[in-house]
Amino acid sequence: MPRRPRPPAPSCARRRVPCRRGPAPRRPPAYRTACVDPLGGSLVFWSYRTLVVSHGSFVDRVCEQWACDILFTQPPHPGSGIVPRRRSRRSPVCSPRIRGIRSAIGASTPGDRVLHTIRAEEPQHPTRANAVPSTLAVSIGVISRGPNPKLRRLLERLSSVAAKECCEVLAVVENANAREPTVQARAGRTTRVEIPAGRGLAYNRNQVLRFSGGDIIVFIDDDCFPEDGWLGELVAPFEREEVEAVMGRAEVPPSTFLGDSIAALGFPAGGSLGYEKMYGVDDEGFTGSIITLNCAVRARVFKELGPFNGAMTKGAEDMELAWRMQQAGKKILYQSSAVVEHEARSSLRDFARWFFSAGRGKYQLAENLGGELGPLVRMRLRSYGSILWAFKFDPKIVAIAPLLVASNILQLAGFVCEARRRRSLGLAFQLRPLFSALPSRPKMRAIGSRIGKYAPHVLRRNKKGPSPR
């Protein structure tokens, strides 16, 4: 009995059907981006140079609010591992572009039942500008000392970015009541992880590495806000195999006179001075520094070189990682088009606290590098000259010069304070065997209770006066 043709239906390309998010199917290792047709369960994988069409089906990904424009549907491939949902009796009409692709692969022939692969120099699927390469699995990590409005605003932004780019977001938040890192909540592609407080920045970033599953780990601070196309620009250089890490750019918006003067000192990530003048970039675009407020690193780098140094509790853990990458010959590319916005520090209290903590981090860095701070000091001296030269005719120079001197004094004070603290800790560690020989806490409590029990008798006897000789 001949198959009855299906009646034509209005094109579904004009209406958006929300995707039903469920457990993700197992994906082939070469194609990490997939989209499932909510009507028929058909599957399509794509990349920049390879388009794989299952059963002649093609699903166009729409990058807003997890919606899909259904062009036409076919049954899923038997090996795709996807259980098709209830089939719709309507068959949307193909667009002329899809008819051309379908005729190119012979979709009207019995070859419909095999997996077709098209290879071409130009992408067959019209990709969005600043899109993340589909062959890369990306994880975005944010660390914070606690819930705050800036973190909430950033997570709302990253949630929309994750929906567009099919990546995951990890929010690692400190909690004073937490004893072990635990996953507290999941919302869409965003996961909230609570960790113990006071362990240091390196420990917090290592929890991002622990709970992430991407090939590329993106770090962004909770007081930053990414611009449009930020993630695509940050991850795009990883198509070059020699690139192991990418450093983005941080822009400081106009603030008060004091805030603009502090930003002119080159912090954070170059500030209003610019990353190139502060840290240096060669002719090929490579740099020797990495700052975790806006960067991306391959996961294999941490597998080869190890995670962030847990001894770096006051910052500079990213500088220590960059030093290890330089020693191992790993290349760091500077991508000026991957921009995040960072608010200026507009109060003297924040200025003093930040530079004092930076000085403590410098001592920890010197301790872990064996005192090899010569290149870092030379780079800082060059950056100070660039600051004074760039703002020599600016009215803010009357505040920039004193702030530059004050920043060095604060860093020196933090350096000395951390050195004295580490020496006292070293003495405590040397006396640790002596303390271990003392009675344990329960025994001390028992001794204290006995002393408290007999102390009134001793005091009462001593009140009678000294005994006669």
**What pLDDT tens digit does each residue of the chain (469 aa) get?**
566 666 555 444 444 444 444 454 444 443 333 333 333 333 333 332 233 333 333 333 323 222 222 222 333 334 433 344 343 343 333 333 333 333 333 333 333 322 222 222 333 333 445 565 555 789 999 999 888 999 999 999 999 988 888 889 999 999 988 889 989 888 888 999 999 998 889 999 999 999 998 899 999 999 899 999 999 999 999 999 999 999 999 999 888 899 899 989 888 888 888 888 888 898 899 998 899 999 999 999 999 999 999 888 888 899 899 999 999 999 999 999 999 999 888 889 989 999 999 888 888 888 887 766 666 777 778 888 888 888 888 898 999 999 999 998 999 899 888 888 877 655 444 444 434 444 555 555 565 555 555 545 444 444 444 444 4
Both tokens of 36, joined, read 């499932």
Q: Is residue 445 part of a domain?
A: no
| Whole-number Cα distances in Å, 46 to 81, 102, 132, 134, 230 | 18, 16, 12, 7, 21
Please indicate, yes or no, whether residues 153 and 90 belong to a single structural domain of this protein: no
Rounded to the nearest 10 degrees, the angle between the axes of helix 317-327 and helix 201-211 is 60
* 110 and 159 part of one domain: no
Residues 111 and 43 in one domain: yes
> Does residue 108 share a domain with residue 53?
yes
Task: Kindly state whether residue 207 falls inside one of the protein's structural domains.
Answer: yes
Q: Which of 331, 349, 367 is at the close of a domain?
A: 349
- CATH code for position 255: 3.90.550.10
Same domain flag for 342 and 194: yes
Please give the C-alpha separations between residue 458 and each of 352, 443, 448, 450, in angstroms, as whole numbers. 54, 22, 15, 12
Number of domains in the chain: 2
Rg over CA atoms, the chain: 30
One domain, residues 174 and 258: yes
| Runs of H (alpha helix) within 212-279 | 230-235, 257-263, 275-279
Which residues, 6 or more positions from 208, have their beta carbon under 8 angstroms from its beta carbon?
139, 141, 143, 170, 172, 217, 219
* Domain-located, residue 95: yes
Range of the domain at 53: 8-119
Let me know whether 110 and 142 are in one domain: no
158 in the same domain as 34: no
DSSP sequence for 145-164: SS--HHHHHHHHHHHHHHHH
- Among 315, 333, 349, the domain-final residue is 349
The two structure tokens encoding residue 231: 């993630």
Q: Is residue 394 part of a domain?
A: no
Query: 465 lies in a domain?
Result: no
**Residue at 243 is within a domain:** yes
- Contact, 355 vs 407, CB < 8 A? yes
**Spatial contact of 322 and 288, defined as CB atoms under 8 Å apart:** yes
- How many other C-beta atoms can be found within 10 angstroms of the C-beta atom of residue 218? 30
Based on the fold, state whether residues 112 and 148 are members of the same structural domain: no
Instruction: Provide long-range contacts, Cβ within 8 A and 24+ apart, for 389-394.
Output: 390/264, 390/273, 390/277, 391/264, 394/264
pTM (two decimals): 0.63
Looking at the structure, tell me whether residues 159 and 64 fall in a common domain: no
Question: What does the buried/exposed string (b/e) look like for 439-449 if buried means 16 or more CB atoms within 10 Å of the residue's CB?
Answer: eeeeeeeeeee
d(CA 192, CA 203): 16
CB 173 within 8 A of CB 147: yes
Do residue 13 and residue 100 come from a single domain? yes
Q: Is residue 129 part of a domain?
A: no
Residue where a domain stops, chosen among 324, 349, 374: 349
